[in-house]
Structure 1
C-alpha cells in the first residue's frame, strides 16, 4: 500500500500559477456560452491543473438572459480580485448593493439555473438557482458544514438605454460548486493567544489556531493579515485574545503585502498601534509570523511592524517567535507509546522504526498493573494508565524506580465498555477522562493528574462520550459521542471560570459536528493545530481513514492509505511525525510520509503520542 501521509512540516507548498486567457484558447474553467435556450447548470468539475489562474469573460454583446446568468455564475469562480467581471453582468443599481464578500455558499455541484419564464411584461426574466448545500463561509471567512437544499432567484431586466440584458436582483454573497471552491480557496490558520488557560511558569504563551478560508490566488497574504487584525471568528472568540490594540488596521493606502528576498514581510499599521511597547509588539509580530508561515513556498522568516509614520515598531524572527509563543506543530515528542502483549506501557523513539519497544521507566512499565490504555503527559515525565478492566485510573512518574500509588479515579460501570475511556493530557498538565457508566456518565478533569476530579459540564452533549482528546492549546476538545447506535466526532470549546473557593468551573460549549457524513466514528486523534485524523464509515460504506479540519472542512490532498480493521489511531500535532495505528490484522503499525504502512509489533494495542 502506498502511503499518503499529508504534511511534512508547518510549511505547505504555496498555490501559485499562470493562466492563458480564455479568448484565444478555451481551457477548463472558462465559460462556454449558449446562444439561446435553458441552462444546463454551471458545471463544477475537477480542474486539470489547480495551479492555473482563471479569468472569466465579460458579457457578449446582445447576449440572451441564459448566457448572462451562466456567464455571471462562471465569473464568480474566477480569480478576479474585486469581482469586476462578475459586476459587468449586473445593472448599475445592482452593482452598488451586491456584496460578494458577505458569504460563500458551497454546493455539491455547480448551481443549477432554471428559467422561470414568469415575467409579466416584455423585458423581464427570472432564473431559479438550486443545488445541494455542502457548506457556507461567512464574512469572517469561517467555514461551517451546511447540509440541505439551496434555492434562490436572480432577476434580469432588458436595459432601456443599452438594450442589453443584465441582472438587477440577486442574493448577497457568491455561490459555487465544491470543486471550484477547492480550487479557489485555501484554509489557513490565524493564531491568537489562549485567554483562559494558565500560561505556566514563565514559558512561552500558548497559541490557538483559528482556521479560515481565503481566496488562494487573490493576495491571500494581505487578506490573512486583515483577517487576523479584525479578530478571531465568533466560535473561538470567547477563549482567545489578540495582542493587537482594538481597531488596528493596515495603514491607509497599503494594498498588498509580500515577502522580500530575505523572506521578511513588512506590515505598516495605522495609528492605533503607534504606542505599543516592545513586549506587546513582539506578541503582535509573532501572531503574524505564525499566521503567514504557510503562505509561501519558503515560509516567512521575519516580520517587521511599522508605525503609521513608517518608523519601525519591532522585528521578530522565526526563532524569536518561538520564545514568545508556542503552538502544537512546533512540539516534537521524543517517543511514541503503546500497550504491549504483557499489558505494560512501552515506548519507541518517534519516527524511528529500527529500535525495539522498551518498557517506560517507572511502575507503569513494570507490568504489575495490567493496562488497556494510557496517556503520556506532553512533557513526557508522567503517564496515566487505565486498568485492564477499565475500572481504575492510575497516574505515575516516568522515572526509573518510581512507585505507583492508589487509583486516582474509579468507575462503577457494570461492564468494561461502560467504564473509563482512554485519558488525555492538555498542555497545562491537566488530565481528562470520561466515565461511561450509564448510571453516572461524566466528563472529568484532574488538575495536574491528581486530587478530587472536577466534573466538566457539557450541556450540548447528546449521547455518551466514547473518546476524549484535548488539543495542545487547552482551548478545544474532540469527543466521540455515541447515541442510538451511531457515533459522531464533535469539537467543543473549553470554557474555564473560577467558582467561590478558588476551584475552576470547566465547561464544554458550542459543540459542533465536524464529520457529519460519518455515521460511525471508531477512533480519532489531533494531527495538527487545526486538523484531526479520523477512522469511521459512512452509511452503507466501509471503514476509512481521513483528515478533517476542526471547522468540518476536508483538507486539500489525499487521505492516509487504506488499512484494514483499525481500532485506534494516534497522530502528533507535529505533522512531520508518522501516524501510528492499531490494526486487528497487523497489530501496531506506522505510516511515515511517502512510505507504506510498516508493522512494528504484532501484539500491541492503544498507540498514543504525548497528549
Structure 2
C-alpha cells in the first residue's frame, strides 16, 4: 500500500457489473430543470417496466414521440450534461447540451454497429408545463435524443450478446448472427431473456447478414400472443408456442426451425435446453428435436467435440503438430506426407477442417501448394502463383472454409487479388473485390467455418485494420462466381492489427494496438463489440495467433523470441516450442 504521494482524482471506468440494479426515481415536486435532466438520464439506465418512471420526466407530447426501443447510442462513459444558458424569457425553456465519445449504435433489430470513437453532441430541452393540480408549473423535457443514450458500463450491465442462428443460403448448416438483448426482463416487451432471444430470432437476420442466409421459419412467424416467458420442464425441454404462420410447415422445415432455436438458446447460460418442442397455434406439437441431433446434422463443424490440436512450421520449414491440451504439452511430431518431410520448405500453412490436407505457401511466397497430411503422396503442382517482386508482396497465409474451399490473397501491388480454389484442387476462381483498389491490399485472411464470413487484415494508407466481409456465391451453368462484399471494421478502436483467428462461430482473437497504446491480444465479436473481460494476459512481440473452434483447447501464439506459447483458461502464457512459427488450428 502506498504511504505517500498526492491524491489524484480519476474518472472511473466501471466494467458493468450485471448484478448491479438501478432503480429509477420519479421527479420530486417542484424539481428544478437540472434535476429533471439528471433524473431522466439516470432513469434510462434502469429496468423500470415500460420506462414508466423515465417517462414521468417528459411532457405528454414527448412521451408519445419517445421510443426507447428504436436505438441505443453507446458512449465510452455516461453522457456529460453541460449547464444550460438561462434565457431571459423562461417561457422558451432551457437547452442542456449532452456530449461524450460515441463508440457504437444498436439499431431496432438489436444489431451492434461499432465506430471509431467520435464526438457525440445532442441536447435536451426542458419547458414548464402546468402541474397535475393546475395550481403551479413544473419543468419537463419536451425534446430529447432518439432512443436510449448509455455509457458503455451501463450498456454492458443491461444488455448481453447472444448469437441467433440461420442457415447458410442453399446449405444445411447454420451461421451465427450476434445481437444484443436485455440481461433481465425487457422494459418494453416485458419478455424474459429466453423469450426475447426467440423473438429476435423470429424477426429474421440482421441487415448485414441477410443476403447470405435463410431462415426455416415462414415469414410472419411470431410467438403465440401473450407469451412473455419461456421456461424448460424437468426434462430440459423448451416448448415454443408459435402463431398460425407455422401451422402448416413440413416435418423437414420444422426440424430446421427447431435446430435454429437450439443453437440460438445454447448461448444463454441462464437456461439449459436439451431439446425443443415447437407447438402450433392450437398448442399441438409440430416437431421435437434434441441438441445432439441438431449438432450432428446442422453444425458447421460436425466434429467440434473432438480434441483440437494446433499445427506450426518449425525452423526447417516442416509442418509439425502439437498436443497442447494436457498439463504439459507433448513434443511436436512431423505430420505424414510431403510437408512433414520438408520436401519444400513452408513459409505459411493452413490445415483443412477434415485434417486430411494442408495448403502451404512455398518458394518465398511465390506458390501455394496442397498436399496430404495423412499419407506419403507426391506433392501436386501449385494451385496459385504470385509474380510479386518482394516476398512481402506475394501470397498471404491461406485459409480453408468449412466447405473445403481454399482461400489466399495475392498481395502483388501491381494487381492485388483474392483467390478461391474449390475443394483445394479445382480451377482457381478470382473473387470479386470492388473495395480492393486505391492502394488497398489484403495482408492476411481467415474464413469462417460456415463459409459465409471472412476476416481480412486490410492495409490502406499505412494502417492495417480488421474487416469482416460477407461471402456471396452465385451458381450458374457456367460455374460459380464468388464475391466478398460489405466490409465492416470489426475493431475500430485498434489503430493497427497484426493477426487474427476465428475462435468459434462469431468470435475472433485479435492482436492489435490502440492509438498510443501497447500491443494486446483480445477477443472481438464479429459485430465489433467487446467486453471488459475480452483482453487476454499480456504477451510481448506477438507475430501470429491461433484459436480453436471450441473452448477446450488453448489459444496458441508465435511470440517472437519466446517461440510458440499457449494460453490455457485460467493460467498465463506458457512456452511450448522455442523455435517455429505460423501456428494454426484447422481452418
Give the TM-score of the pair, scaled to structure 2. Answer: 0.92
Structure 1 runs of 4+ aligned residues shifted over 6 Å read none
Rounded to whole Å, the distance in 2 between the matches of 1:222 and 1:597 is: 40
In the other structure, the counterpart of 2:4 is none
Greater RCO (Cα-Cα under 8 Å, separation 6 or more): 1
Aligned to 2:525: 549
- C-alpha RMSD of matched pairs (Å): 1.9
Q: Is this contact kept in 2: 1:44–1:110, CA < 8 A?
A: no
Q: Distance in 1 between matches of 2:215 and 2:350?
A: 32
Is the CA contact (8 Å cut-off) linking 1:257 and 1:265 kept in structure 2?
yes
Distance in 2, matches of 1:121 and 1:354, equals 74
Contact 1:226 1:249 in 2 (8 A): yes
The alpha carbon displacement at 1:299 in A equals 2.7
Q: Deviations over 1:433-478 (max 9, x none)?
A: 0011112211000011113311111112351110010000100000
Which of 124, 128, 134 is the aligned partner of 1:154? Answer: 124
Taking structure 1 as reference, are residues 530 and 172 closer, same or farther at Cα in structure 2, changes over 3 Å only?
same
- Tell me the equivalent position of 1:471: 448
Q: Distance in 2 between matches of 1:560 and 1:329?
A: 28
**Equivalent position of 1:216 in the other structure:** 183
CA positional deviation for 1:329: 9.3
Contact 2:329/2:576 (<8 A) preserved: no
Q: What TM-score comes out, normalization by structure 1 length? A: 0.88
Q: CA deviation at 1:123?
A: 6.9
Could you tell me how far 1:327 is from its partner in structure 2?
A: 3.9
Distance in 2 (alpha carbons) for counterparts of 1:400 and 1:450 = 17
1:447 aligns with 2:416: no
Q: Distance in 2 between matches of 1:562 and 1:139?
A: 37
Structure 1, unmatched stretches of 5+, are: 1-42, 200-204
Which of 331, 340, 346 aligns to 1:356? It is: 331
Deviation for aligned residue 1:225: 0.8
The secondary structure found in structure 1 opposite 2:561 is coil
Is the Cα contact below 8 Å between 2:500 and 2:508 reproduced in 1? yes
- Unaligned stretches of 5+ residues in structure 2: 1-10, 186-191
Count of matched residue positions in the alignment of Structure 1 and Structure 2? 561
Distance 2:427 2:525 in 1: 34
1:293 to 266, 270, 273: 266
User: Paired residue for 2:239?
Assistant: 266
- 558, 562, 565: which one aligns with 2:541: 565
Q: Deviations over 1:480-506 (max 9, x none)?
A: 01123211110000011135x432111
Measured at CA, do residues 121 and 520 of structure 1 come closer, stay the same or move farther in structure 2, by a change above 3 Å?
closer
* 2:513 corresponds to which of 502, 516, 537: 537
Question: For residues 601 and 46 of structure 1, what CA distance do their matches in structure 2 show?
Answer: 38
1:248 equivalent in structure 2: 221
Q: Distance in 2 between matches of 1:228 and 1:519?
A: 34
Contact 1:588 1:601 in 2 (8 A): yes
Contact 1:53 1:217 survives alignment (8 Å): no
- The equivalent residue for 1:482 is 459
Q: Pick from 383, 389, 399 the counterpart of residue 424 of structure 1.
A: 399
State the alpha-carbon separation in 2 of the partners of residues 141 and 212 from structure 1.
Answer: 5
Map of 2:298 onto structure 1: 325
Which runs of structure 2 are paired with 1:498-517 in the superposition (5 Å)?
Answer: 498-499=475-476, 501-517=477-493
Shift of 1:93: 2.4
3-state secondary structure, aligned to 2:154: helix
